């Protein structure tokens, strides 16, 4: 492990850890600086959303947790942190790799019908104050093989561009894009974050199949509300869905 300060980023580089999010949560006892990043080549127990495991081959991908103190946000504004994080990842992919990605609500990053990155944000809220957030990002850079269950669903920068990229360089660039989006968030440019999110929302304004309460329904995503619920037109009626209440049906 060694520590590094590049531009304004404090980075802790690890060869292996259980989960960078877990490492970050333990590090919080030592009051790390705002925007400290924990980066690992390998996680033995990487955490995904919904208690899933995040799989990543050693040294091939970005596995990072970014510690921030967004105390300027009210708890009901937390979805803007998701929006700012998605914006940073999309700008990173576009600027450095010319890859056009989409945001699959609430916070997966897709290229075409395949996932290139996942975000796991863990917040600590006390009363009306956000104490800290750990923004965990897993982004597939050079991995090209996944196990049977995932291989139809995942992609990487290498699969898209047919060439290897330098992971550590990509990490520094992603941190710069995160910093830039963090400034947008700090300045409370909420309409700009929402516009970007909607403009890049996967399957927005198109009719698709979804699963709701074990039933298949046809619907059109219209947008997201202030709290980050997905607004979908189903049978001529606007409905709001919280995370896990609606599932996209994506053909293999
Ligand atoms: C998802 O399920 O899509 C979210 C995946 C988040 C994975 C990243 S990898 C770095 C950080 N540490 C973890 O244990 N999880 C996040």
pLDDT one digit per residue (tens) for the chain, 252 residues: 555 555 556 999 999 999 999 999 999 999 999 999 999 999 999 999 988 899 999 999 999 999 999 999 999 999 999 999 999 999 999 999 999 999 999 989 999 999 999 999 999 999 999 999 999 999 999 999 998 888 889 999 999 999 999 999 999 999 999 999 999 999 999 999 999 999 999 999 999 999 999 999 999 999 999 899 999 999 899 999 998 899 999 876
Instruction: Identify whether residues 120 and 51 lie together within a single domain.
Output: yes
Selection from 244, 248, 160 nearest residue 206 by Cα: 248
What pLDDT does residue 7 have?
Answer: 57
Instruction: Identify whether residues 195 and 219 lie together within a single domain.
Output: no
Residue 47 Cα to ligand 1 midpoint, Å, equals 5
**Tokens, residue 120:** 């796991």
Containing structural domain, residue 66: 2-199
Hunting for tokens 């709001």 — which residue is that? 240
The protein residue whose alpha carbon is closest to atom 16 in ligand 1 is: 136
Instruction: Identify whether residues 212 and 187 lie together within a single domain.
Output: no
What pLDDT does residue 3 have?
Answer: 58
Of the candidates 181, 199, 217, which is a domain's last residue?
Answer: 199
Strand partners of residue 37: 11, 66
The protein residue whose alpha carbon is closest to atom 15 in ligand 1 is: 47
Report the alpha-carbon distance of residue 185 to residue 80 in Å, rounded.
7
Total domains in the fold of the chain: 2
Instruction: Identify whether residues 48 and 121 lie together within a single domain.
Output: yes
Instruction: Identify whether residues 67 and 48 lie together within a single domain.
Output: yes
What pLDDT does residue 158 have?
Answer: 98
Instruction: Identify whether residues 53 and 139 lie together within a single domain.
Output: yes
Q: Is the pTM of this model over 0.85?
A: yes
Compute CA distances 12 → 18, 53, 69, 169, whole Å: 14, 22, 18, 15
Tell me the CATH number at 243: 2.30.30
Instruction: Identify whether residues 244 and 194 lie together within a single domain.
Output: no
Residue 19 Cα to ligand 1 midpoint, Å, equals 8
Instruction: Identify whether residues 51 and 134 lie together within a single domain.
Output: yes
Residue 82 Cα to ligand 1 midpoint, Å, equals 14
The protein residue whose alpha carbon is closest to atom 7 in ligand 1 is: 138
What pLDDT does residue 151 have?
Answer: 80
Tell me the CATH number at 101: 3.30.930.10
Instruction: Identify whether residues 9 and 108 lie together within a single domain.
Output: yes
Instruction: Identify whether residues 225 and 128 lie together within a single domain.
Output: no
Instruction: Identify whether residues 195 and 212 lie together within a single domain.
Output: no
Instruction: Identify whether residues 187 and 222 lie together within a single domain.
Output: no
What pLDDT does residue 248 have?
Answer: 93
What pLDDT does residue 39 have?
Answer: 98
What pLDDT does residue 9 have?
Answer: 64
What pLDDT does residue 1 have?
Answer: 56
């Amino acid at each position: 492990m060694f520590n590094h300060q590049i531009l304004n980023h404090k980075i802790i580089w690890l060869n292996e850890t259980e989960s960078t999010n877990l490492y970050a949560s333990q590090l919080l006892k030592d009051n790390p600086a705002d925007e400290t990043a924990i980066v690992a080549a390998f996680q033995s127990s990487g955490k995904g959303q919904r208690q899933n495991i995040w799989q990543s081959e050693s040294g091939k991908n970005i596995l990072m947790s970014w510690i921030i103190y967004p105390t300027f946000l009210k708890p009901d504004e937390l979805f803007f942190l998701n929006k700012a994080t998605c914006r940073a990842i999309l700008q990173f992919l576009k600027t450095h790799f010319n890859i056009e990605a989409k945001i699959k609500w609430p916070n997966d990053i897709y290229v075409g019908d395949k996932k290139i990155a996942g975000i796991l944000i863990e917040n600590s809220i006390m009363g009306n104050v956000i104490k800290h957030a750990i923004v965990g990002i897993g982004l597939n850079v050079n991995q090209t093989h996944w196990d049977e269950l995932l291989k139809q669903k995942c992609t990487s920068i290498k699969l898209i561009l047919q060439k290897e990229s330098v992971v550590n360089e990509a990490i520094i660039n992603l941190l710069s894009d995160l910093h830039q989006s963090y400034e947008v968030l700090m300045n409370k440019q909420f309409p700009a974050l929402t516009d970007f999110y909607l403009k890049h929302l996967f399957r927005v304004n198109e009719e698709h199949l979804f699963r709701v309460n074990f039933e298949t329904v046809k619907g059109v995503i219209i947008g997201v509300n202030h709290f980050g619920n997905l607004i979908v037109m189903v049978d001529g009626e606007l409905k709001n869905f919280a995370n896990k209440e609606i599932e996209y049906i994506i053909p293999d």
